[in-house]
């Protein structure tokens, strides 16, 4: 259990150091990028860093290139900011959670828009009619 807590604490510390260095970065491509999470392997050798930034696919590709180029800069920041025997290898990944949420919301909105209010009323009336016919049959049996 303590090993998991250590991994979690190291992941949070890495997230804080990287977020701070992002603010200090002079690379314009990394402006307005947010670190959403960090997952560290159990042996603390690899850190998967998840980030998000609103923009087009082209913008996301530019940011991925910036992170790839700045990997050494961020590892140096980790060596200064953390007291670890080994500085983890950094792997940067775009966090598409917000994109997925937007897609689901748009699908739900389209579904609601397709179903007009008159259709909803008709469906409700049919459901009521069916339930009352069931009650009528039950009463007749007695």
What does the chain come to in residues? 142
Tell me the average pLDDT across 32-55.
92
Q: Residue 118 class from Cβ within 10 Å (0-12 exposed, 13-18 middle, 19+ buried)?
A: exposed
The string of pLDDT tens digits covering residues 52-90 is 987 778 888 999 999 999 999 999 999 998 888 889 999
Tokens, residue 126: 């049919």
**Does residue 45 carry a pLDDT above 80?**
yes
The tokens for 115 are 């179903």
Contact call for residues 51 and 34 (beta carbons, < 8 A): yes
Task: Kindly state the tokens that stand for 7.
Answer: 């991994």
What's the pLDDT score for residue 141?
46
Lowest mean pLDDT among 22-31, 61-70, 104-113, 118-127: 118-127
Closest of 43, 40, 50 to residue 19, by C-alpha: 50
User: What residues pair up with 92 in beta bridges, in sequence order?
Assistant: 49
Q: Where are the domains of the chain?
A: 2-95, 101-141
Q: Which CATH architecture has domain 2-95?
A: 2-Layer Sandwich (3.30)
Residue 80 half-sphere exposure, CB side, CA atoms within 13 Å? 11
Asked whether residue 130 carries a pLDDT value surpassing 80, the answer given is no
Question: At residue 106, does pLDDT exceed 80?
Answer: yes
Q: Give pLDDT, residue 142.
A: 43
Question: What pLDDT is stored for residue 56 in this prediction?
Answer: 79
For residue 31, give the DSSP letter.
Answer: T
In this model, does residue 136 exceed pLDDT 50? no
pLDDT above 90 covers a percentage of the chain that reads 45
The predicted model scores a pTM of 0.70
The DSSP secondary-structure symbol of 30 reads G
For the chain, report the end-to-end CA distance as a whole number of angstroms.
65
> Regarding beta strands 34-40 and 46-52, do their DSSP bridges make them parallel or antiparallel, or are they unpaired?
antiparallel
Locus of tokens 């949420």? 101
């Amino acid at each position: 259990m303590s090993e998991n807590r250590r991994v979690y604490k190291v992941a949070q510390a890495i997230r804080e150091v990287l977020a701070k260095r992002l603010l200090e970065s002079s690379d314009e491509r990394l402006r307005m990028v947010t670190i959403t999470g960090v997952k560290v392997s159990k042996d603390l050798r690899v850190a998967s860093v998840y980030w998000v930034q609103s923009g087009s696919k082209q913008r996301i590709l530019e940011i991925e290139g910036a992170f790839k180029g700045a990997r050494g800069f961020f590892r140096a920041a980790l060596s200064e900011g953390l007291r670890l025997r080994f500085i983890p290898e950094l792997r940067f990944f775009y966090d598409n959670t917000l994109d997925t949420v937007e897609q689901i919301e748009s699908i739900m909105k389209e579904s609601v828009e397709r179903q007009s209010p008159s259709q909803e009323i008709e469906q409700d009336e049919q459901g009521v009619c069916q339930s009352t016919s069931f009650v009528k049959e039950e009463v007749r049996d007695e």
